[in-house]
Structures are given as structure tokens and as C-alpha cells.
């Protein structure tokens, strides 16, 4: 039952979270506007707050959240690519430093002529 509920919630969210659904909700809300106007300004305010805003903004907010989620995913991917590139550059620099240090150590004699050895 849990999987069905999750599946159904996802289907409804994906359906309601479209601009086409927002347009349909706006049309439904606008259908009732003449009745609200005929009842006077308080009814128009109630219509706007309880009908139009709730119906239309629901879909628009879901669309906006979806867009923001996709942007966050892209930003996350770019950050990971940047971190990977930075680590690769550092790894290569460390390898070059190790090679240079190995070459330097080979070119320096173990002891200078006439210098005391440790323990003397």
C-alpha cells in the first residue's frame, strides 16, 4: 500500500505541477469570477484569496520548486566537477614535486667531502 501511495502522490504532483494545470485552474477560477463580482467587493476578495490564489498558485509553486530543484542539481554537479578537477590538479602537482625531490636527492651526495659523519 505504501508504494501505491507514493506512486499516486508522485503522479498527482507531476500532473498538478505543470503550467498547463495552472492555466486550467485559472480558467476554472475565472469561471466563478462574475458571481463574485455581482456579490460585491468582499466576495471578490474572498474569491481571489480562496479560489484564484489557492488554485493557481499551487501549480505555479510546484513548477517553481521543480525548476529550482533542477538548478540545484546542476549546481551540485558543477561543484563536484570543480572539486574533481581541483583534486586532479593537486595530485599532478604532488607527483611533479615528488619527481623533482627524487631527482634533487639523487644529485646531492650523501656526505660532503671532509664533513663529519653522524656519530663522529
DSSP-assigned letters across all residues of 35-74: HHHHT-HHHHHHIIIIIIIHHHHHHHHHHHHHHHHHHHHH
pLDDT in tens, 18-44: 999 999 999 999 999 999 999 999 999
Evaluate whether residue 84 is within a structural domain: yes
Single pTM value for the model: 0.62
Evaluate whether residue 29 is within a structural domain: yes
Q: Which long-range contacts (CB under 8 A, 24 or more apart) does 62-65 make?
A: 62/13, 62/16, 62/17, 62/18, 63/17, 63/18, 63/19, 63/22, 65/17
Number of structural domains the chain divides into = 1
The parent domain of residue 30 ranges over 2-106
pLDDT in tens, 95-111: 888 887 777 767 665 55
Evaluate whether residue 114 is within a structural domain: no
Evaluate whether residue 52 is within a structural domain: yes
pLDDT at 82 over 80: yes
Evaluate whether residue 113 is within a structural domain: no
Residues 18 and 12 sit within 8 Å (Cβ to Cβ): no
CA-nearest of 58, 28, 32 to 44 is: 32
Grid cell at residue 108: 646531492
CA distance 68 to 61: 10
Amino acid at each position: 500500500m505504501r508504494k501505491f501511495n507514493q506512486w499516486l502522490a508522485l503522479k498527482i504532483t507531476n500532473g498538478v505541477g505543470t503550467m498547463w494545470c495552472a492555466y486550467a485552474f485559472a480558467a476554472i477560477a475565472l469561471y466563478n469570477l462574475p458571481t463574485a463580482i455581482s456579490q460585491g467587493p468582499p466576495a471578490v476578495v474572498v474569491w481571489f484569496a480562496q479560489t484564484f490564489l489557492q488554485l493557481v498558485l499551487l501549480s505555479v509553486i510546484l513548477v517553481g520548486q521543480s525548476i529550482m530543484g533542477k538548478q540545484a542539481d546542476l549546481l551540485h554537479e558543477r561543484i563536484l566537477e570543480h572539486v574533481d578537477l581541483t583534486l586532479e590538479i593537486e595530485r599532478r602537482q604532488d607527483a611533479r614535486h615528488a619527481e623533482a625531490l627524487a631527482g634533487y636527492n639523487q644529485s646531492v651526495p650523501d656526505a660532503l667531502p671532509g664533513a663529519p659523519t653522524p656519530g663522529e
